[in-house]
Amino acid sequence: MEILYENFLKLFVDDGWKYIVMWAIGGLLIYLAIKKDMEPTLLLPLGFGTIMVNLPLSGAIGPEAPLTTLFDAGIANELFPLILFIGIGAMIDFGPVLSNPKLMLFGAAAQFGIFLTFCLASLFFDLPDAASIGIIGAADGPTAIVVAQQLNSQYTGPIMVAAYSYMALVPIIQPPVIRALTTRNERLIRMPYKGKKISKATRILFPIFITVIAGLVAPSSVALVGFLMFGNLIRECGVLDSLSETAQKVLANLVTIFLGITIATKMEASLFLRWETLLILGLGLFAFIFDTAGGVLFAKFLNLFLKEKLNPMIGAAGISAFPMSGRVVHKMGLEEDPQNFLLMHSIGVNVSGQIASVIAGGLILSFAAGFGGFLG
């Protein structure tokens, strides 16, 4: 009875409305996962976990509580995001990029919004928080987690939620931005796929080469890039097929479930219901939109000099949301012209964006470290 009385006081006398708001947020995430099929493996556990941690006197969080223990074991030390990168790397086929290496330029161009938002966010937040907020634009949840954790950002929860939410909202956010920046004639440009046969040796050497280059350019990105490329090496080596399949399916799904429900420890009402959360969500959307715009505008710029024109829509796939962004661009191409198949080009740009966003995360970490020694 005493516990019921305390819960009654917290819900109806103290700041109980905050718990109810967080239950509504958790319910919304569950609704989006089930009804709208938006990243269900992540949003469903995140939504349920949000409800769990916002029950008065919840035993799910606190010293030695299960979710807190899981957070310390898997996110505080960045273990879950890095393991998830192995699974993501095993899913990626770099064949389209290796056939047309210039597609990697679009992956780089589509990171423009990250650094623009970093500068904008620094007007409202401390440097570590601003850097962590900027990386939301990549729509890359694991990278956002690693950056926020290494920079000891006090807004880890909103940053994680924003990064994964915008990744799930790619089919809603990107098409209007792409249409606003392109003409119908540009969207009708056909790009025949001239795929080349890529040797096994090239496919094996590519992840090793990328890891070395990334380590030299942005040393802080070595763990992120290395785990991603290791997963791809498992896929391409040809002697670990069963392990590759496990990494793509069982490992990736299992870690995503743990990741989602563990992130919820940062969804406590006292941490989440602040004006800064709305500002972070707004800045994250700003970053995401300008990352998309950066890729599209870069393609339009190249078309000023190219005889064989590019369909500028493929530039939008340079964000890290793999493979959603690539599929969105392909679908838009088919809507304009049922015979315009952009899938291989857009997926090639999309996997380039996966690499570029991780390197951008490393550059952000290096920059923040060089200006104040904020790394934890």
For residue 197, how many other CB atoms are within 10 A of its CB?
A: 7
Q: 57: Cβ–Cβ under 8 A, 6 or more apart, which residues?
A: 3, 6, 7, 10
Per-residue pLDDT of the chain (376 residues; tens, 9 = 90+): 555 555 555 555 566 788 888 999 999 989 988 988 877 888 899 899 999 999 887 788 888 899 999 988 888 888 898 899 999 999 988 888 888 888 888 888 888 888 888 889 989 998 888 888 988 877 777 888 888 888 888 888 788 878 877 777 788 889 999 999 999 999 999 988 777 788 999 999 999 999 998 888 878 788 888 999 999 999 999 899 999 999 998 999 899 889 889 888 888 888 788 888 889 989 988 988 998 999 999 999 999 988 888 999 999 988 877 778 888 899 999 998 988 888 888 888 898 888 888 888 888 887 776 665 444 4
pTM of the model: 0.83
State both tokens at 137. 């634009």
* Percent composition of the chain: helix, strand, coil (DSSP 3-state, to 5): 75, 0, 25
C-alpha span between 125 and 137 (Å, rounded):
17
Q: 356: Cβ–Cβ under 8 A, 6 or more apart, which residues?
A: 104, 107, 108, 110, 111, 318, 320
Give the pLDDT of residue 376.
45
To 5 degrees, how large is the angle CA 104–CA 106–CA 111? 110
C-alpha span between 340 and 190 (Å, rounded):
6
CA proximity to 48, closest of 62, 34, 37:
34
Packing angle, helices 141-150 and 222-236, rounded to 10: 150
Give the pLDDT of residue 375.
42
